[in-house]
């Protein structure tokens, strides 16, 4: 197993942030037992996330303290009124009054407990919102990283295609067939590379306008005066491989419906060129 690819896949981050599925979580736990490097990566990310949260901790605004004490005062007044009502209810018909006194230390301890409880609740809400904001920012960074990796893979693939195309174009077995634009479309240009040994045909659409929606360019080989379908031109980097053509005296490109046509639309011909 390639542990480095697994670590870079983002599953560890998803697990720590609570976004992994049950199957992914079970797999990660099992792999942590088998591969120390995966376990270390998990621990490192948890520590880094905790350090980042502590480093970005922000002192609550002054109004948070005012709101907490205002809530405390309101609760204390309400509790005091309720206690007074309960005391009145304890008066007996014989006017024998039960007096329940709370010593001074107990009052301070009760008030302190309420204050700590309210402050703790307020701080938990405040720091949870900050943690959630940091988590969202991290998720955005992970998404950006995955996008960059995907784009990099696409660029590598295109670069490899271009390199292979250059290799084929310099092959001595390749015959180059230039196809300039026809009358009225002189700005267009394309090139056919025809392997005289394998008879494989490749097209390089040097300068062709983007086809309209529902349209696609199609290559034709003229064999004994008749057009032979050589394939539709897809979006490829460098040379596009077409159909194998044993013999031809000319090549041409027309604009056809998506998927190609059985016969060329001559009014939609863009380029053409003779072999040899």
pLDDT 10s digits, 138-170: 777 777 777 776 665 555 545 445 555 556 666
Residue 185 has pLDDT above 50, yes or no: yes
Residue 18 DSSP SS3: coil
Nearest to 238, CA basis, from 162, 176, 153, 163: 162
Q: How confident is the model at residue 217, as a pLDDT? A: 96
User: How many residues comprise the chain?
Assistant: 276
Tell me the domain boundaries of the chain. 3-55, 62-165, 174-274
Among 57, 78, 239, 70, residue whose Cα is nearest residue 133: 57
Map tokens 């196809």 to a residue. 179
pLDDT of 133 over the 80 cut: no
Ranking 4-13, 66-75, 256-265 by mean pLDDT, the lowest is 66-75
203-255, pLDDT tens digit by residue? Answer: 998 899 999 999 999 999 999 999 999 999 987 766 889 999 999 999 999 99
Contact 253, 208 (CB under 8 A): yes
Q: Give the angle 18-21-24 at the CA atoms, nearest 5°.
A: 105
Question: Per the structure block, which two tokens stand in for 207?
Answer: 């300068």
Q: What is the mean pLDDT of the chain?
A: 78
* pLDDT confidence bin for 6, thresholds 50/70/90: confident
Q: Rounded to an integer, what distance in angstroms lies between the CA atom of residue 71 and that of residue 83? A: 18
What does the pLDDT read at residue 95? 47
3-state secondary structure 154-171: HHHHHHHHHHHHHHHHCC
3-state secondary structure of 20: coil
- Examine the pLDDT at 180 and tell me if it is beyond 70: yes
CA distance 58 to 54: 9
Residue 118: the pLDDT is 65
Rounded Cα distance between 100 and 86, Å, is 11
Report helix angle 36-55 to 22-34, nearest 10: 120
> pLDDT per residue over 29-75, tens digit each?
999 999 999 999 889 888 877 776 666 555 556 665 566 566 656 65
> Each residue of 95-129: pLDDT tens digit?
444 544 545 555 555 666 666 666 766 667 777 77
166-180 average pLDDT score: 81
CA distance 171 to 250: 21
Q: Coil, strand or helix: which one is 99?
A: coil
Among 14-28, 147-161, 195-209, the range scoring the smallest mean pLDDT is: 147-161
């Amino acid at each position: 197993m390639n542990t480095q690819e697994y670590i870079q896949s983002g599953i560890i981050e998803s697990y720590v942030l609570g976004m992994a599925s049950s199957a992914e979580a079970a797999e990660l736990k099992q792999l942590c037992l088998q591969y120390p490097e995966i376990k270390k990566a998990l621990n490192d990310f948890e520590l880094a996330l905790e350090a980042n949260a502590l480093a970005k901790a922000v002192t609550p605004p002054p109004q948070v303290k005012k709101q907490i004490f205002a809530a405390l005062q309101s609760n204390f007044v309400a509790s005091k009124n309720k206690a007074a009502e309960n005391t009145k209810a304890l008066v007996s018909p014989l006017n024998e009054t039960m007096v329940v006194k709370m010593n001074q230390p107990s009052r301070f301890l009760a008030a302190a407990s309420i204050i700590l409880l309210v402050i703790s609740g307020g701080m938990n809400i405040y720091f949870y919102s900050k943690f959630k904001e940091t988590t969202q920012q991290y998720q955005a960074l992970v998404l950006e990283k995955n996008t960059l990796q995907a784009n990099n893979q696409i660029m590598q693939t295109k670069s490899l295609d271009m390199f292979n195309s250059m290799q084929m174009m310099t092959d001595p077995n390749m015959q180059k067939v230039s196809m300039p634009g026809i009358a009225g479309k002189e700005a267009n240009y394309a090139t056919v590379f025809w392997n005289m040994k394998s008879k494989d045909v490749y097209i390089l659409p040097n300068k062709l306008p983007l086809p309209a929606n529902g349209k696609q360019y199609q290559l034709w080989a003229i064999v004994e005066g008749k057009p032979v379908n050589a394939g539709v031109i897809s979006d490829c980097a460098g040379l596009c491989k077409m159909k194998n053509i044993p013999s031809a005296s000319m090549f041409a490109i027309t604009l056809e419906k998506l998927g190609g046509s059985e016969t060329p639309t001559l009014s939609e011909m863009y380029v053409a060129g003779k072999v040899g």
